[in-house]
Amino acid sequence: MNAVLSTILKRLGLGIATLFVVSAIIFSSISMLPGDFSEAVLGQAATEETVAAFRKELGLDKPAPIRYFEWVGSVLQGDLGTSFSGRNASGQDRSRQVVDLVMPRLWNTLFLAGVTALIAVPLALFLGLTAALYRNTAYDRVVNAATLTTISTPEFFVAYILILFLASLWPVFPSLANIDATTALGERLYRVALPALTLTLVIVAHMMRMTRAAIINLLASPYIEMARLKGASRSQIILKHALPNAWAPIATVIAFNLAYLVVGVVVVEVVFVYPGIGQLMVDAVTSRDIPVVQACALIFAATYILLNLTADIIGIVTNPRLLHPR
Amino acid sequence: MTDPSRPSTTASGDILLKMRDIRIDGYSDEQWHPIIKGVDLTLRRGEIMGLIGESGAGKSTLGKAAMGYTQPGCKLIGGSILFDGIDLAKASDRQKRHLWGTRIAYVAQSAAASFNPAHRLIDQTVEAATRRGIRPDAESRTDAVELFRALQLPDPETIGNRYPHQVSGGQLQRVMTAMAMSPRPDLIIFDEPTTALDVTTQVEVLASMRKIVEEFNTAAIYITHDLAVVAQMADFIQVLRYGEEVEEAPTQQMLTRPEQPYTKSLWSVRALEKPEVKGDDIVLSIDNVDAAYGPLKVLHDVSIKLPRGRTVAVVGESGSGKSTTARVMTGLLPPLSGTVTFNGEVLPAALKDRSKDQLQRIQMIYQMADTAMNPRQTVEDIIGRPLEFYLGLKGKEREERILELLEMIELDETFMDRLPSELSGGQKQRICIARALAARPDVIICDEVTSALDQIVQEGILKLLLRLQQKYNITYLFITHDIATVKAISDEIVVMFEGKVVEQGLKSEILSPPFPDYTKLLLSSVPEMDPDWLTNLLQNRDI
């Protein structure tokens, strides 16, 4: 048990180290973006003195390494900084804390991701297991072909098709998913139905096919033949004898897709005008709002690392060789 | 088979299993061809039938067919399998499922691969009995502990709580026997259950399996290629070859008076024995060698001397350091300390520091001829390579030498253009021998070269090696775990145990008393062709 705990702690430590490396990459790549915020706000006509003063006020005049360590230091204290937008040359400061900008958006994204995951993960597991159970039957082929179709179609196209059928021709769901902090839970669920459905169609195929492959891969093992010769039925073989040995690869692909739900949904957000973190980041990049861009990028990186870590841990705790060493 | 003179071993004696004219086809190379060609088999309650034959004889396929099961890629195309009045050849999957694991049980060859790594042993042991509601789960668990005890497993109360990777191969094989026995089946199929075990472990497993089958008067089909093993277990023996029955008889009769030439040839293989010759001219020796893989030390102060033109057999169980010794000699694994001396000259420890001439003098032949050859090279390329590399032969000279070598290994020039995949197991091993010979070596290290081969093929290879030794005065270091092979080929024997040399000496000295404890255990564990061998051994050992 202690060996497992120390492995998990090691992975966690590695994850944190990765996050630091990623933060450096984020910072340096954003520094390399052409143009800067002060010029974007003040316009071409601004005098060099005004620009310099404005840059000084934002702290952009300091050398990059110092700015990086200041940023990392304040992030470690839970302070993501202050947004650049809302400032202008007049000296009047209506700027907001990055946390206040990002958190509601992040919450919205997590809500959509959570709803999608609740539909997509059980659905993918169910389809994958049944496809493995009835492999090479008509059912298997239909499921494979259908999921392959949805994964091969661009997601904005899937989104517009769904809008056409479920919002326009048969108006079951709204085509706009605009929610805010005051929207009640039931109403929220109703409004995110179409984006959640779109995302489900996009991610189910990958998870389903991996589940099917992982199970079928195990069906040639001698212990599966043994289970058959002990009189186990097909479903018992798949659920009891194959699935417990297949969790590691399945967890990895689920983690990958869940991470995509957080960091890759900007297209779907744009189509349904959903106020998620993807849109926020795109807007911030356009307006050179560096603190917001950095915060979003850092959140995305942390999401990936955290979900992969979870998949690793599932791989460890479902492997009796690691969990119960000799 | 329904011979009325056949003695019934039990009081009940009624027929449990009656297989008639079984025909099974297998699919390979994109076509179906016959694997079992009309075999009959009859088994009464409480009897044990031994099925023996070489690989490819179809014994495992026939054994599984007794359950009404054919593995993927095989199909039953004819015959009837009457198990207690039910024709399994016609039964539905559902009917068969209700019999499997309850009235007919299966014990597989590789216990390590046949236990599900994700579940505890006890859960797997009681699975079938609990599923069919033979008795309440709690009772099955208590019963399983009793079976573990009866099978002499250590810590019977708690061993079931372990996972498969936490117990040894011999223990797993016994747990699998307990698993088969748990629902108290009428019939158990043992499919080479001790083949993967070391000889000292095999004895214990055999003894416990026999005891429990006798105790519950269970009928069994015991599949093996080892005659001596089947002699200990079976009441009757059926010999199979190429999917056909060769002959069948009660065990005692089969051992003493086999009728068919094929059966006789199987028996005679074990009689091969080379007269030993003492040798004093030491060609290769390793002295006081310690070696390790990373932090794991596997050889402790090992010294072995090879006299010129003689065969030194290294025997021991898996993990005793036999192959590591070979790796040190060839320079593949530089030792931590100690030296390798060849013709009185100390060789560099590492392969890369040895000269071409030094490399040429020591050649190696491996257990798996399959993986020791490049599958895309023809026989000509494989044998020709050392001729070019060591001797610089080209063109006509090279070709003539290849033909000479093929002749030496009793193959003709038609083999020149063949690929390894077009050769049989024995032919592949012959090509590997020719490749080693091509370098004109003084010493050939043979690492389990006959272990993967059938007995008759083994005999051919061993005879070939002996003939080559006489003709060219080659020295062999012959690594094996099989005592029959040792008797057949060696002049001297080295016994290894846990990385140490237990003893080295002439064959006659090592194989006659007094024995050190380990040698005694090893030699006494080798099954003999006497049905009472195991019984006598157990009485003498007081297990």
> What's the gap in Å between the CA of A147 and the closest CA on chain B?
28
If you average pLDDT over residues A259-273, what whole number do you get? 89
Q: Do A231 and B113 touch (CB under 8 A)?
A: no
Q: How much of chain B, in percent, has pLDDT values that exceed 90?
A: 44
User: What value does the mean pLDDT take over residues B92-121?
Assistant: 90
How does strand B492-497 pair with strand B311-315? parallel
Give me the half-sphere count of Cα atoms (radius 13 Å) on the Cβ side of residue B338.
Answer: 23
Q: What is the DSSP string of A245-269?
A: GTHHHHHHHHHHHHHHHHHS-HHHH
Q: Tell me the average pLDDT across B194-198.
A: 79
Nearest residue of A to residue B73, measured between CA atoms? A220
pLDDT of residue B2: 39
pLDDT confidence tier of residue B4, bands split at 50, 70 and 90: very low
**Alpha carbons A319 and A304: distance in angstroms, whole number:** 23
Of B106, B162, B166, the CB nearest to A229: B106
Quote the mean pLDDT of chain B: 88
Which is it for strands B475-480 and B311-315: parallel, antiparallel or unpaired? parallel
The Cα A149–Cα A205 span in angstroms is 9
From the list A119, A115, A120, the residue with the least C-alpha distance to A186 is A115
pLDDT band per the 50, 70, 90 thresholds, residue B220: very high
Q: Which long-range contacts (CB under 8 A, 24 or more apart) does A263-267 make?
A: A263/A300, A263/A303, A263/A304, A265/A109, A265/A112, A265/A113, A265/A195, A265/A199, A267/A155, A267/A156, A267/A159
Checking if the pLDDT of B104 tops 50, the result is yes
Report residue A78 as tokens. 């839970």
Highest mean pLDDT among A49-58, A119-128, B57-66: A119-128
Provide the ipTM: 0.77
* Residue B435 pLDDT > 90: yes
Select from B256, B195, B243, B201 the least CA-distant residue to B222. Answer: B195
In this prediction, residue A130 has a pLDDT band, given cuts at 50, 70 and 90, of very high
CA distance A166 to A14: 45
Residues of A with CB under 8 A from a CB of B: 220-223, 225-233, 236, 241, 244-245, 318, 320-321, 324, 326
> How far is Cα A325 from Cα A316, in angstroms, rounded to an integer?
12
Stretch A102-110: mean pLDDT, rounded? 90
Section A95-113 average pLDDT: 88
Does the pLDDT of residue B105 top 90, yes or no? Answer: yes
For residue range B444-456, what is the model confidence (pLDDT) as tens digits?
A: 999 988 877 877 7
| Element containing residue B235 per DSSP (H, E) | none
Using the predicted structure, report yes or no on whether residue B262 has a pLDDT greater than 60: yes
Specify the pLDDT at position A80: 79
pLDDT score of A58 more than 80: no
Which of B122, B223, B116 has its CA nearest to residue B182?
B122
Residue B33 phi, psi (nearest 5): -140, 155
Q: How far apart are CA A127 and CA A133, in angstroms?
A: 10
Phi, psi of A44 (to 5 degrees): -65, -25
Quote the Cα angle for B486-B490-B495, to 5°. 60
pLDDT of A249 higher than 50: yes
CA B491-B495-B498 angle, 5° bins: 155
Domains and CATH numbers, chain A: 102-289 (1.10.3720.10)
Q: How many residues does chain A have?
A: 326
- Confidence class of residue A56 from pLDDT cuts 50, 70 and 90? confident
Taking an 8 Å cut-off on Cβ atoms, the answer to whether B110 and A222 are in contact is yes
> How far, in Å, CA of A113 to CA of B200, rounded?
59
Mean pLDDT of B67-81: 90
- DSSP string for residues in A281-322: HHHHHHTT-HHHHHHHHHHHHHHHHHHHHHHHHHHHHT-HHH
Q: Is the pLDDT of residue A34 over 90?
A: no
Cα–Cα dist A228/A282, whole Å = 55
Q: What is the pLDDT of residue B24?
A: 92
Cβ(B73)–Cβ(B26) below 8 Å: yes
Residues B458-468: pLDDT tens digits? 888 898 999 99
Tokens of B319: 């993990």
pTM above 0.80, yes or no: no
- Tens digits of residue pLDDT in A185-240: 888 889 899 999 999 998 999 999 999 999 999 988 999 999 999 999 988 999 99
Alpha-carbon span A209 to A127, nearest angstrom: 9
Phi-psi group of B13: left, alpha or beta (phi > 0 → left; psi -120 to 50 → alpha; rest → beta): left
B299 pairs with which residues across the strands?
Answer: B291
Put simply, the answer to whether A231 touches B165 (Cβ < 8 Å) is no
Nearest chain A Cα distance for residue B452, angstroms: 20
In chain B, residues with a C-beta closer than 8 Å to the C-beta of A318 are 118
Q: Cis peptide before B136, with omega less than 30 degrees from 0?
A: no
Secondary structure E strands in A75-229: none
When mean pLDDT is compared across A38-42, A268-272, B235-239, B358-362, the lowest value belongs to: A38-42
Structural domains in chain B plus CATH codes: 14-261 (3.40.50.300), 282-512 (3.40.50.300)
Q: How does pLDDT run across B314-352, given as a tens digit for each residue?
A: 998 888 888 899 999 999 999 999 999 999 899 998 888
Distance separating alpha carbons of residues B209 and A245, to the nearest angstrom: 30
Query: Which DSSP string do the residues of B246-289 spell out, in sequence order?
Result: EEEEEHHHHHH---SHHHHHHHHHTT--PPP-----EEEEEEEE
Q: What is the mean pLDDT of residues B87-102?
A: 90
- Mutate which of B60, B97, B168, B177 to disrupt the A interface (most A C-beta within 10 Å)? B97
On chain B, the residues whose CB falls within 8 A of the CB of A223 are 113-117
What integer is the mean pLDDT of B177-193?
A: 92
Residue A88 pLDDT level (bands cut at 50, 70, 90): low
Phi-psi region of B192 (alpha: psi -120 to 50; beta: other; left: phi over 0): left
How many other C-beta atoms are found inside a 10 Å radius of the C-beta of residue A13? 10
Strand order in the sheet with B296-307: B296-307, B282-293, B337-342, B345-346
- In 3D space, the residue among B43, B39, B7, B48 whose CA is nearest the CA of residue B20 turns out to be B39
